[in-house]
Amino acid sequence: MNERIRALAEQARIKDHWSIDEGRYLTNYLNEQKFAELIVNRCIEIVESIEPGYEDYRNQIEDAFRRDCVTEIKYDFGVEE
């Protein structure tokens, strides 16, 4: 597993957790919902941080495309603004 994914998994980890569904105490439990949210948010951050590579009108086209990508990712995964 890559270090970035490992770090995100650690952020999503709940060290001690009582599971109502399983009726028992879980240790070192990965909150899968939180983990998925962290991955999606990191992908959005990456797309938002890409700098345009042109110094002309194409700059605006790239910027619009990035915004469209972020909007689609948020919509597809149900990320609230």
Q: Tens-of-pLDDT digits for all 81 residues of the chain? A: 689 888 998 899 877 766 677 676 667 778 899 999 999 999 999 998 888 777 788 888 888 899 999 999 999 988 876
Instruction: Bin 66: left if φ > 0, else alpha if -120 < ψ < 50, else beta.
Output: alpha
Residue range of the domain that includes 56: 3-77
Number of alpha helices (DSSP H) and beta strands (DSSP E) in the chain: 3, 2
What pTM, to 2 d.p., does this model score? 0.71
What is the distance, to the nearest Å, from the Cα of residue 9 to the centroid of all Cα atoms in its chain? Answer: 11
CB 48 within 8 A of CB 66: yes
Tally of domains in the chain: 1
34's CB contacts (< 8 A; 6+ apart) are 11, 12
